[in-house]
Amino acid sequence: MVKSLTTVNILPTAATHQFSVIWLHGLGADGHDFEAIVPQLNCNQIAQTHFVFPNAPSLAVTINNGMVMPAWYDILEMSFERKVDLKGIETSSTLINRIINQEIAQGIAPQNILLVGFSQGGVIALHAGLTFPQKLGGIIALSTYLPEPELLLANRSESNQHTPIFMAHGTMDTVVNITAAQSAFKTLKNLNYPVEWHDYPMEHSVCVDEIQALSDFINQQFDTE
């Protein structure tokens, strides 16, 4: 079992940082995948923000004929009502929680830590964030879904019941169908999480308007005034 994750880091330009953004990539990618997005963000506190891009463990992925690749958990079936690698989701969430705790150990307040995840990474961002024992600043879930809502129900933390959640999805996504994301949004809404929904005419990717919207969301959560 992997005890810790390697990370790609973009350090703040200020001498010390007050904020942390932990950004999780999708299946088969790595920590460099979203590194280039940082200069595109319109974030007020970017000079004081540490961006952490963890590298997922290497796993044999069943739907890809057992090929070993960076993955947060195994994908056993392609169908929507598919079997879910619950153990893998919990294991990766534990690894992300360790990164969160490393930031806290550096003096960053939990409410100044924000999780972002794309696709598979979004699944982990939601699960790790909503089960973390201390209140976090927010969660951004991009082009993703909730593969097993019961797992969240069994493990969710009261501390993050009021943590803001930003969800965004492409209307032309053929990898994670938008209906799966809408179902996740409805589940979170029914559980009384403060979740907001955005969709864009794009495929399984990110777009300029989405980047601006999530920049605004980050600014709202990292507002020091």
**Nearest one of 218, 207, 121, 100 to 166, comparing CA atoms:** 218
Catalytic residue among 30, 204, 205, 215: 204
Name the token pair of 124: 């982990």
Q: 205 burial class (0-12, 13-18, 19+ CB within 10 angstroms)?
A: middle
What does each C-alpha distance from 208 to 9, 42, 51, 140 come to in angstroms? Answer: 23, 11, 19, 16
Name the token pair of 53: 């891009």
Catalytic residue among 92, 119, 143, 169: 119
**Nearest one of 51, 50, 18, 46 to 32, comparing CA atoms:** 51
CB 1 within 8 A of CB 88: no
Give yes or no: 173 in active site.
Answer: yes
129-132, long-range: CB within 8 Å, 24+ apart, which pairs?
A: 129/160, 129/163, 130/156, 130/157, 130/160, 130/163, 130/193, 131/93, 131/155, 131/156, 131/157, 131/160, 132/97, 132/100, 132/157, 132/159, 132/160
Give yes or no: 204 in active site.
Answer: yes
Q: Which residues are catalytic?
A: 119, 173, 204
